[in-house]
Chains A and B, each alone.
Chain A
Amino acid sequence: MRRMLTAKLRDSSGVLNRFTGVLSRRQVNINSISVGPTEVKGISRVTVIIEVESLDEVDLITKQLNRLVDVVRVKDITDIPHLEREVLLVKISAPASKRAEILAIIQPFRASVVDVAPHSITIQITGDANKIEALLRVVQPYGIKNLARTGATGFSRD
């Protein structure tokens, strides 16, 4: 099952290694991981999407992550109201004849074109994993030349 964990960590050297070490020891697959600063100096936020077998497993992982000296707090926010956002950049083949069509297709996703070249365009979209997958399905037929995703980030809602 897919779980979204979000953590606040003390920003020290090797901290990401310690964090992912707990996951790799159990051979847990990391779908995505994103790291960045928070409102507090010296504290970073890590958001990680993992695949686990059971809720017991994610419970143990959460406890073992919380045990780390540098971890302020880890939460599994999958089942509580939360925001999840990811940025996708995708470069697709776009001969001049197809461009109007592509722009029309991506418009409902509120995606934008951020780069244009003679034979391709690059689209940027922000959203959760479902929205990004949906966009990818509709642009796939044009031919994907390059793709980059940031991995999800987010936090729980009040």
Chain B
Amino acid sequence: MQQIQLDTARSGSFLILDTLAQLGVETIFGYPGGAVLPLYDAIYHYKDIRHILARHEQGAIHGAEGYAKSTGRIGVAVVTSGPGATNAITGIADAMGDSVPLLVFSGQVATPGIGKDAFQEADIIGITTPITKYNYQIRHTEDIPRIITEAIHIATTGRPGPVVIDVPKDVQEKIIEAYNDPTIHLPSYQPTIEPNGMQVKKILKQLSQSKRPVLLTGGGVNYADATKELVAFAERYQLPVVSTLLGLGTIPIHHELSLGMGGMHGSYASNMALTEADFILNIGARFDDRLTGRVNSFAVNTTVAHIDVDPAEIGKVIKTAIPVVGDAKKTLEMLLRFDQVETDYADWTAQVLENKRRAPFGYEPDETYVKPQEVIEIIGELTEGEAIVITDVGQHQMWTAQYYPFKNGRQLITSGGMGTMGFGIPAAIGAKLANPDKEVVLFVGDGGFQMTNQELAILNGYGVPIKVVLLNNHSLGMVRQWQESFYDEHRSHSTFDDEPNFQLLAEAYAIDHYYFDKPATIKEDLKVILENKPMLIEVSISNREHVLPMVPAGKANHEMLGVKFNA
């Protein structure tokens, strides 16, 4: 990085903002408190960085995540010490689960008070060590430029992840005239980006010998911005493509070779392809249990190649014959650079694609209740499959994955690994702030909505025209579905009999609001989503709907239930 010019003496707080601005940060999310008062005083004066005031620290973190996930740039959040920092924990764990480049500044009590149970002191380094890629406590103001530069480097390179910087109050306040050399030196941190050519050649050799190959695309392809290369590779070798949840958007849903999402609520075509394949080429997916189903029935007698920037992912869950450590984009580029090999599996590809036509995702129309699947389909058409789509967690998340016609990389922003309810509203705000020219649509359930709806205050305050589509089934749909399916229909604490009036709630936040419950007019009603303003669209849906098909827990992917075949 360029040297920051210190024309006058600077406080630690200003130095933090100077360094962030120098490194290209223009938006931070946060919530003030005692231990970050000096930093907030600097923010008050600072014009080059926009601060977005959340209403809860979890909202600040998810906002920064939405910003980061939709752009690939670092998301930055500021929270105070003690309870401010502990409120941020869920979001930090979420970022770890989905490899999100995130930088969190937590205030800390002044250095002499650390370890002495001072007011609002928590050992945030101890607490966040297992859920961060790295963390720091700054002890000397002079180190601020180097530590922030290093932190952003670590958070954004290799397999991205969250980094926490704990800043004691006196370190923020101290005025210095010169700072230490900010050059970073990390001999112990050298991620492998360029893949080994010999290993990559083995993939092509295996492909040439394979009779039933499948390409599996994961979040790593999205994060490496390798969607163009992925599609080019799939097309060159006419490979059917199964996507993980976080891999959606890496190949357009309507692409001929795309089978859609695989796994627990995946498509029939995807799951049969994974089951019957003799070669699975995994790019940037981590064989999560939602994808594999019963793990000892997955990829039996199948050759597995796994491309991942994180070597610890390879072989973690599934035995891997061809490990390739490297960046997804670099590896795909290399695969495309090598001479094309002869292949012989055209009949397999045809058969797999026929499955897609035989058993697409489908639902029974209903005259009484609006179908959530149809709502997502209609909004998919209205937005021409181009919106940035955010979801919360639960049934609506799976329906969105099944029915929204994703076209682009980084288009679906969802909490995959951690499955964090409450992620939706703040993440949508973060995504819209990062992409003001794009349509941003949030699908959220009434459970997750109530976990972070206080962040709706941001919509008017900062002029953030996101479209909040609340699919209200008056229950915790996914929990209820499991209880109905596997726990003798005991709906234990999974229905809300005393919900607030969400229309009045939107009114309280001065947001335009709509309530739809008529299947006959829903298509027309939803057109309101195209207006450019923040809005809440509440759609009342049945409280008996299930997400299908489904691979029950402990079953193999081919044992999925609820598949609908076309005649």
Contacts and interface: CB of A to CB of B under 8 A. Distances in A.
Interface of A: 8-10, 13-14, 17-18, 21, 25, 56, 59-60, 63-64, 66-67, 69-72
Contacts of B134: 69
A44 to B, nearest CB: 11
B154 interface: yes
B362 interface: no
Interface string B184-207: 001111000000000000000000
Contact of B312 (A9, A56, A66, A72): A66
Given A21-B129, A72-B187, A59 B311 contact: no
Given A9-B188, A72-B187, A72-B188, A67 B312 contact: yes
Given A14-B129, A67-B311, 8 more contacts: A8-B188, A13-B137, A17-B129, A25-B130, A60-B312, A63-B314, A67-B310, A70-B188
Contacts of B312: 60, 63-64, 66-67
Contacts of A18: 129
B311 A21 contact: no
A59 B311 CA distance: 11
Give the interface SS of chain A, mostly helix, strand, loop or mixed.
helix
A67 B313 CA distance: 10
Q: Which of B129, B188, B316 lies at the interface centre, i.e. has the most chain A CB atoms within 10 A of its CB?
A: B188
A64 B313 CA distance: 9
A14 B130 CA distance: 12
A13 B125 CA distance: 10
B389 to A, nearest CB: 31
A14 B188 contact: no
A105 to B, nearest CB: 46
B552 interface: no
A56 B129 CA distance: 25
A63 B311 contact: yes
Interface residues on B, range: 10 to 19
A66 B186 CA distance: 14
25 contacts: A8-B188, A10-B187, A10-B188, A14-B125, A14-B126, A21-B129, A21-B130, A56-B315, A59-B315, A60-B312, A60-B316, A63-B311, A63-B312, A63-B316, A64-B312, A66-B311, A66-B312, A67-B310, A67-B312, A69-B134, A69-B154, A70-B188, A71-B188, A72-B187, A72-B188
Interface of B: 125-126, 129-130, 133-134, 137, 154, 186-189, 310-312, 314-316
A74 B137 CA distance: 25
Contacts of A56: 315
Contacts of A59: 315
Contacts of B187: 10, 72
Nearest to A40: B187
Given A69-B154, A72-B187, A72-B188, A17 B311 contact: no
A69 B129 contact: no
A17 B128 CA distance: 12
Contacts of A8: 188
A157 to B, nearest CB: 24
A25 B126 CA distance: 14
Contacts of A10: 187-188
Q: Top 6 closest A-B pairs, CB basis?
A: A63-B312, A72-B188, A69-B134, A69-B189, A67-B312, A64-B312
Contact of A69 (B133, B137, B315): B133
A67 B235 CA distance: 34
Contacts of B188: 8-10, 69-72
Interface centre among A21, A69, A71, A72 (most CB of B within 10 A): A69
A25 B188 CA distance: 22
Contacts of B154: 69
Task: Pick from B130, B310, B312 the residue with the most CB of A within 10 Å.
Answer: B312
Nearest to B125: A14
A56 B125 CA distance: 31
A18 B314 CA distance: 21
A70 B190 CA distance: 11
Contacts of A17: 126, 129
Nearest to A63: B312
B527 to A, nearest CB: 49
Contacts of B315: 56, 59-60
Contacts of B133: 69
A11 to B, nearest CB: 10
Nearest to A24: B130
A25 B130 CA distance: 9
Contacts of B129: 14, 17-18, 21
Contacts of A14: 125-126, 129
Contacts of A63: 311-312, 314, 316
Nearest to B187: A72
A18 B316 CA distance: 20
A72 B189 CA distance: 7
A43 to B, nearest CB: 8
A22 to B, nearest CB: 9
A41 to B, nearest CB: 12
Contacts of B314: 63
B126 A69 contact: no
B316 A69 contact: no
Nearest to B317: A60
B563 to A, nearest CB: 34
B154 to A, nearest CB: 6
B130 A69 contact: no
Contacts of B130: 21, 25
A33 B126 CA distance: 20
A18 B187 CA distance: 17
A46 B188 CA distance: 15
Candidate in B125, B133, B154, B187 with the most chain A CB atoms within 10 angstroms: B187
Nearest to B126: A17
Contacts of B311: 63, 66-67
A67 B310 CA distance: 8
Nearest to B312: A63
A63 B314 CA distance: 9
B315 to A, nearest CB: 7
Nearest to A9: B188
A70 B187 CA distance: 9
A56 B310 CA distance: 17
A9 B315 CA distance: 25
